A and B are shown apart, each in its own frame.
Chain A
Amino acid sequence: MSSDRTLSMRPSSVAPRGNLNDLTPIVHRVVERIGETNDITTLVLEPLDAPSMTFRCGQFNMLSAFGVGEIAISMSSAPGEGTLRHSIRDVGAVSHALCQSRVGDLVGVRGPFGSDWLVESASVEADLDPRDTIVVAGGIGLAPLRGAVEELVRANERGGGRVFVLVGAREPSQIVFRADLDSWRARGAKVSLTVDLATPEWDGRVGLVTTLLADAGFDATNSRAMLCGPEVMMRFTARALVDLGMDPEGILVSLERNMQCGVGWCGHCQLGPFLLCRDGPVVPYAGLVSQLLTQRER
């Protein structure tokens, strides 16, 4: 067994968890593996002996590659989809091991943790939010938003507000969830794409994701926004949305810091007054966060 792979032994069962406490992962099996881009892999996970997890869009799990380590990864499925998906970019030892895992391999899952996008499940008979929702994602930032968009599109089909999905990527090959983008478009969402660097076959927009805002067609004065991507992208996007007339209170951003426990003990995920595992990752842009995003931390 190479050291950078997840546990490939396939035990038939897991011993009863007894009084194990909340730092012990629940063992899940990889039931499907989807290569999204050259370095982004989606794992579909099922628990071996536990009930499936209930969670809200935008929350995250701590995923273990056994023997390698544990990292925080947002769910990229909607609770209503009935599967637990995580889309992982291969950037370090643990994410590499997770991305290398095969169908049948075991990974550890602890969670769900953190705050969410405040999207009501479309399957719940609740009051549908009539506002436009603008979802802006940069690269892998679409992963924590994928479930929310799915719920929003379904809500829109039932009479909820319009959905605008604006996606920026470094280059065309880095655009994730292309089938979902097509599906959302087919079901009434306005989907716009742009890339930083075009390739010969790309006939779409070139430029920063903020260039998609002006002619997207949403009503900034009656809308909310959900942003996930590099901090600089969220900062400029949020500012542009406010300039277009959006209420900063209606803008949510998903922030990222080093996380080692997910339960508020390890101290790594501090950002000013926040412990992002507890108070985030999704926080309102208004007020303090807009300042934090402009403070130089280095």
Chain B
Amino acid sequence: MSTAINHSSSIGLDLQTIVVLTVEGLDEFVARLRALGYEVMGPTLRDGAIVPGPVNSSKDLPRGVHDLQSPGSYRVMREDDGEIFGWAVGPGSWKNEYFPPSQVMWRSEIVGDTLVFRQPDRSHALLAIVGARPCDVAALRILDHVLEEGVHRDSRYSERRDSNFIAVVECASPADTCFCASMKSGPGIDEDFDVALTELNDELGHRFIARIGSPRGADVLSSVSTRPANELDLEARALLLETASRAMSRSLPFDEVANLLARNVEHPRWLDVAERCLSCGNCTSVCPTCFCSDVHDTTDTSGAIERRRTWSSCFDLEHSYLHGGSVHESSSSRYRQWMTHKLSTWWDQFDSTGCVGCGRCIVWCPVGIDITEEVAAIAAHDQARVAVPSRPGAS
């Protein structure tokens, strides 16, 4: 089983304290988390993309790595600026760490004359994430609603989630595909973290502003070399976030989109997007909030049974299968299901948006379908304001 980590009482740091770390201080921070028994993960460069991976020191972080993202395109490149968090989110989100793509629910076997059910061993080191982006932390809060705070609690998810340590890094490098500012999930963050870092790299040096979000965060930071933040640091942070917000060219109308889609279930754009959509499900694979899963059994010759949960996608024809056929037969109906769920019915089901504006679905769509563009196209011809032509088959 997981071992609880005993954080000693903090020395001198409280939740209001804002301090500054150097890059060496960041290494001390990672080392302190490891010394406390955490498995530290963060952004790492692998196979030409920035994805979650193990972090033993700041050397494992993508220093000097930047990215260039656009609809259907992702590239990384190196620069000599030494920036560690100078990139926007890559294809991998933190969802995988809490809700793995494939997971054993239980195994059963026949022992003697008894049917025995066993849960897989779920003991593991506690997870600390250094370098989660605000949009991805917002996505985890959304998943919390679904898997932890609903009628039934998924203990697999919550065991991992409740014990995690999150050091978020505010985003100064939004990609061309990002729209978190409009979704109110970035580029800055004010809650749902243990420590929030902001990377500054200016004439005053390469450093990190650290804000504290929990007693655990205070405890870890108190054993790291820091100095109090000054006015110049705070002004630099404010300017950084302001610049990042303004840099985002894409947006969604956060307050209107849910109703817009609800009243445009019939809209010619759904057929238009279906002409381009391949129904490949890449968008759902990279989405940090998509949670659909299949549950299936396998068996072997001994009579042992394994029940497994694997990610699935509403773009699969089988996703809506009922005997006699699938409810969502066409690409247009599947795209509509996905997008209206993200932006509209998620509110009905879980009282929040299902989209954090990370832009992954735009980047990793092989044909570059852009959710913000699709919403804009629907808004431009809002069917509630024009006569809806009668449909064949409608009754």
Chain A partners chain B: yes
Q: Which residues of A contact B (CB under 8 A)?
A: 1, 3, 7, 9-15, 17, 19-24, 27, 64, 66-70, 89, 91-92, 95, 106, 256-258, 260-261, 263-268, 270, 272-275, 278, 294-298
The answer to the question of B303 belonging to the interface, with a C-beta cut-off of 8 Å to chain A, is yes
Contact, CB under 8 Å: B337 / A264: no
The answer to the question of B269 belonging to the interface, with a C-beta cut-off of 8 Å to chain A, is no
Contact, CB under 8 Å: A24 / B117: yes
Complex Cα distance, B395 from A13, in Å, reads 55
Contact, CB under 8 Å: B337 / A67: no
B151 touches which one: A260, A263, A297 (CB < 8 A)?
A: A263
Q: Which residues of B contact A (CB under 8 A)?
A: 105-106, 108, 110-111, 113-117, 119, 146-147, 150-152, 154-155, 265-266, 291-299, 303, 305, 307, 309, 312, 314, 319-324, 327-330, 333, 337, 341, 345, 348-349, 391, 393-395
Smallest CB–CB gap between B121 and chain A, Å?
13
User: Is chain B's binding surface mostly helix, strand, loop or mixed?
Assistant: mixed
Complex Cα distance, B117 from A27, in Å, reads 10
Chain A residues with Cβ below 8 Å from B292 are 266-268
A-B contacts, 24 listed (Cβ < 8 Å)? A7-B303, A11-B113, A15-B117, A17-B117, A19-B119, A24-B117, A66-B305, A69-B295, A91-B324, A95-B323, A106-B115, A258-B319, A261-B309, A263-B150, A263-B154, A266-B295, A266-B312, A267-B292, A267-B293, A268-B292, A268-B294, A272-B345, A273-B349, A298-B333
Contact, CB under 8 Å: A273 / B345: yes
Q: Which of B105, B115, B293 has the most chain A CB atoms closer than 10 A to its own CB?
A: B115
Smallest CB–CB gap between B300 and chain A, Å?
9
Chain A residues with Cβ below 8 Å from B333 are 296-298
Chain A residues with Cβ below 8 Å from B296 are 69
Complex Cα distance, B308 from A261, in Å, reads 11
Chain A residues with Cβ below 8 Å from B154 are 263, 265
The 7 closest A-B pairs by CB, nearest first: A273-B348, A267-B292, A67-B299, A263-B152, A91-B323, A298-B329, A260-B295
Smallest CB–CB gap between A156 and chain B, Å?
33
Since A15-B116, A95-B323, A296-B394 are in contact, a sample of 14 more A-B pairs with Cβ atoms closer than 8 Å, ordered by chain A residue number, is A7-B303, A12-B114, A14-B116, A21-B119, A64-B297, A66-B297, A260-B294, A261-B309, A264-B152, A265-B146, A266-B295, A272-B348, A294-B395, A298-B328
A67 touches which one: B152, B305, B348 (CB < 8 A)?
A: B305
Chain A residues with Cβ below 8 Å from B150 are 263-265, 278
